[in-house]
Structure 1
Amino acid sequence: MTTSTNTTDLYLLTDLVAPLPATTSTNATDLRHLIDLIAALPAATSPADAGLIPVTATAVGEVVWVYARGQYRRGVVTKVTPTRADVTYTTQGALDESARIYATWEAASEDEEIAYATRRARGNWRFKTAMADGTADFYKRFTFTPEEKRKEMATYADQVAAAGSEEAYVQAEVDRARTSFRAKKAENTSPLAHVKITCKTSKIADLFRDPTT
């Protein structure tokens, strides 16, 4: 059996039943359908042992079994050429990982994120000002020629001057952290918001289907 090594991981940051992304070449199926289809034969089980039969022709939207990552997996055909087909599927592991990400972001606190961003910004400011005036331990831990040190000091002096003051710098960093946190929180719409799906390209002759469905 020969299958293509073209396996592409795609990430859905969508609602529960959003269509597959355009990179799968079609909107013929949706995430909920892929989840309902999750199945994989044990590694030692052949398609024939599982009662599957070879595919001779296929079409977009058909449910087939494709060999991917050491097992035959059930998915949906999302692209067809004369000899090959793209089969898109997801796994229980992908669902579990999405649920873990969801739980992490659900528990995340904006106040804690801002407090951390504030501490980090003040530490960065101390480092920048010490680099600018030449007193940073960094200059002692590493070897600099006088010219190299002068350039480093000038670079950080420009950054300090551009920031204006410590409070202005800290506020700008906190604002960026708040915007980033809220955007990531907004992506976390459900336990399925970050489900990874996989698109596997295979020879049509190497696909199988269940004759009972």
Structure 2
Amino acid sequence: MSTAGQTVVVTPGRRLGLAQEYESGIGTYVRNGMIYSSILGTRKIKEPTGDSTNDKETSTNKPVLYVERDNAKFAIPVVGCEVLGRVVRINPRAASVAIMMVGPVPCQEDFLGMVRVQDIRATEKDTVVMVESFKPGDIIRAEVISLGDQRSYFLSTTKNEHGVVFAQSSDGNTMVPVSWEEMQDPETLAIEKRKCAKTF
């Protein structure tokens, strides 16, 4: 398999390229004419071989854009750094998060983080409802604001670029953000509340 282009570590929800220029491969999805990463890994490009007997991905003679999972490297969260994590459970006061990535470096093992209800949004903090911000299984981008206690780091999603970057609906479909507070299942058109991150 040949690859082209610069090797870049990407996170779920990260924009990778134009759908008109590339085919969407493993670890990606298409939204509004753009290809996005659905997993943590390295952005890769597979050039077409021109062989019509090849699989569907290369039969269009367009390069295939895909994400390849990396062997994890060792990273430790520190105050002020940006992290990527999976929400593992929630209660009315906080969401527990398994930190998977610190900056551009994947973690060798999950660190536990916590997003308290007062650290979800920068404004109207007294009206924030946890179940309308995150759900277990969501992938979120957040900032480490404190080392917390021995069991978890304290995280914040108050910045526009922080919040949910990848989520699945109750039907198992990848949802897309339709506003700062809502995501939609493109198959069923069902709307669910989330604290969405600004994607780039």
TM-score range, shorter chain: under 0.3
Higher relative contact order (CA 8 A, sep 6+): 1
Q: TM-score, normalised by structure 2?
A: 0.24
- The structure whose residues are more often helix, as a share, is 1
- The structure whose residues are more often strand, as a share, is 2
**Max radius of gyration: which structure?**
1
Q: TM-score, normalised by structure 1?
A: 0.22
